[in-house]
Amino acid sequence: MFKKWMTVLSKCALFRGINPEELNIVLACLNPKVSSYDKNESVTVFGEKFSGLGVVLAGEVVVVKDNAAGNRVIMAVNGPGEMFGEMAAFSEDGVWPATVVARGACTVMLLPAGKIVGSCERSCGSHKMLITNMLIIVSDKALMLHRKVEYLAIRSMRGKISTFLLEQYKRTGKDTFMMPLKRNELADFLNVSRPSLSREMSRMRDEGVIDFHRDSIKIKQVDVLRSMAG
Amino acid sequence: MFKKWMTVLSKCALFRGINPEELNIVLACLNPKVSSYDKNESVTVFGEKFSGLGVVLAGEVVVVKDNAAGNRVIMAVNGPGEMFGEMAAFSEDGVWPATVVARGACTVMLLPAGKIVGSCERSCGSHKMLITNMLIIVSDKALMLHRKVEYLAIRSMRGKISTFLLEQYKRTGKDTFMMPLKRNELADFLNVSRPSLSREMSRMRDEGVIDFHRDSIKIKQVDVLRSMAG
DNA sequence: TGCTTTTGGTAACCGTGGCTACCGTTTTTA
DNA sequence: TAAAAACGGTAGCCACGGTTACCAAAAGCA
């Protein structure tokens, strides 16, 4: 039944430590719903009734939040095997805390939240593992948000840009790399305006700290960048 | 042994649904460490080795984060029965993601993280409950951070102030209430400078939207405030 | 009780960064 | 392959809010 998605699901953090045979049993237990979406189609809408823990099976989704002023903040970009709605799954109000939009054609699986904590009728042994995995996942999510808060708490734009670039530098281990976000998306992520971001990056280029062309970026003075990060 | 703290602990979300006799057994299992601190003393320091899940027994602690630029951001204020370090408890790196400072004289309990998920030798039945509680707690924490991100994502100071006041208004249900934070702390929380905050609040008072004197504040035009929140 | 510390309001100055507008380039779609 | 849409850099304008400095009131402490 879920044979098609086994490879992806085995990579999903929720099912870590559960072997294929058990996974099949657990999935039958959880009774998930698989749906496909086109580009820019809404998978979930902020404030609507919570429909279940999401797992991306194919394609990519973007988790966004619109504040009333009309600014769209990108919370995350999730690919195959990644999840969304982990936090809402165990909240009381039972509504989506964010909007999830298909970044391109994609397929997602929605798991009813109650089934995860609720004790299984057939008392399948992987349920405890599932809950423990869930705990780790939500903790990681919380830490990610913690990091996000740190980003937003940086007052100056230079600080934000420098911090972001240094994180990429550390992640890739190279001083020349591709930006994982378009200017628009980066501006959203750093919570600044797009033209101001361009201007500041250009200034940094003029000063010889970095060099870039479109998506390709090169860090020329790591130490200077570090001093600007805070 | 923990008789002195039973009243507080029974109110702690971690032990919800566990009756006093079981609580004693569970506590013995967890082997917690109780310590006292003076005002402004550090309970935990950012980056240092994780020492365990914290529970405030008496007094208050402030969870803060200093960014390298020297700005101190208040993450939370925790009183008796409240916890800190929930996220770090299940992260890999095993260091404190924030600094916790005693707001006044206080007593806290530290629970070794491993003991919570690790299966109990005496296989005491409340362990599953403990893990489930932990899941709910961490989810709530994540949602709280989510809300925090929303606050920080608000561009204008007016928007921040309005949002904060409306939240208090909703919480107390009254249009006149006491500010739960000093100006200093509020400025930190909203991530703005203290004089700018005072100035903006004075402007709002001049415009007749609000009225205030020190800690006491009155909302005069809720609808206008709402339109300013975003 | 007087002294010190903390807290909060106000004012002047000015830099960062938001906004709008425009244009060239790249990518997508028909 | 032409038309349309998305993307990214640049420029000018100016307001929001950071910074510093100072003072008054309140609270803590001797």
- Chain D positions with a protein C-beta closer than 7 Å: 7-12, 16-21, 26
CA of B150 to C1' of D1 (A): 46
CA of A182 to C1' of C21 (A): 21
pLDDT at position A157 = 92
Whether pLDDT at B72 is above 80: no
Give the burial class of A171: count Cβ atoms within 10 A of its Cβ; 0-12 exposed, 13-18 middle, 19 or more buried. Answer: exposed
Residue A8 CB neighbour total at 10 angstroms:
19
One-letter amino acid at A99 equals T
Task: Choose the weakest-confidence range: A40-49, B87-96, B133-142.
Answer: B87-96
Residue of A nearest to B156 (CA): A69
B95: which residues sit within 8 A by CB, 6+ positions away?
Answer: B46, B47, B48, B49, B50, B88
Q: From the CA of B84, how many Å to the nearest CA of chain A?
A: 13
Per-residue pLDDT of chain A (230 residues; tens, 9 = 90+): 677 889 899 989 999 988 888 888 888 888 899 999 888 888 998 889 998 999 999 888 888 776 544 456 667 778 889 899 988 888 777 888 888 988 778 899 999 887 776 655 555 567 778 888 888 888 888 888 887 888 888 889 999 999 999 988 988 899 999 998 999 989 988 989 999 999 999 999 999 999 999 889 999 999 888 888 76
Residues A26, A18: Cα–Cα separation, whole Å? 9
Contact at CB, A142 and B138, closer than 8 angstroms: yes
The predicted-structure confidence for B125-137, as pLDDT tens digits, reads as follows 677 788 888 888 8
Q: Which nucleotide is nearest to B197 (CA to C1')?
A: D17
Whether pLDDT at B143 is above 90: no
pLDDT at position A131 = 81
Q: Which residues touch strand C (CB under 7 A)?
A: A 39, 155-158, 192-193, 195-197, 199-200, 214; B 155, 182-184, 195, 198-199, 201-202, 212-215
The predicted-structure confidence for B13-62, as pLDDT tens digits, reads as follows 999 988 888 888 888 888 899 999 987 888 999 889 998 999 999 888 88
- Mutating which of A16, A152, A157, A170 best tests the B interface, going by the most B Cβ atoms within 10 A? A152
pLDDT at position A200 = 95
- Chain C positions with a protein C-beta closer than 7 Å: 7-12, 16-21, 26, 29
pLDDT at position B13 = 92
Q: From the CA of A86, how many Å to the nearest CA of chain B?
A: 8
- Choose the closest CB to B155 out of A69, A132, A159: A69
Half-sphere exposure of B195 (CA within 13 A, CB side): 0
- Asked if B195 contacts B225 with a C-beta cutoff of 8 angstroms, the reply is no
pLDDT at position B125 = 64
Contact at CB, B139 and A230, closer than 8 angstroms: no
pLDDT at position A33 = 92
pLDDT at position A105 = 84
Whether pLDDT at B70 is above 70: no
- Choose the closest CB to B154 out of A67, A86, A131: A67
Contact at CB, B65 and A141, closer than 8 angstroms: no
Contact at CB, B145 and A150, closer than 8 angstroms: no
Q: From the CA of A201, how many Å to the nearest CA of chain B?
A: 20
Residues of B in contact with A133 (CB under 8 A): none
Residue B219: pLDDT band (50, 70, 90) is very high
Average pLDDT estimate for B138-144:
85
- Choose the closest CB to B153 out of A67, A89, A141: A67
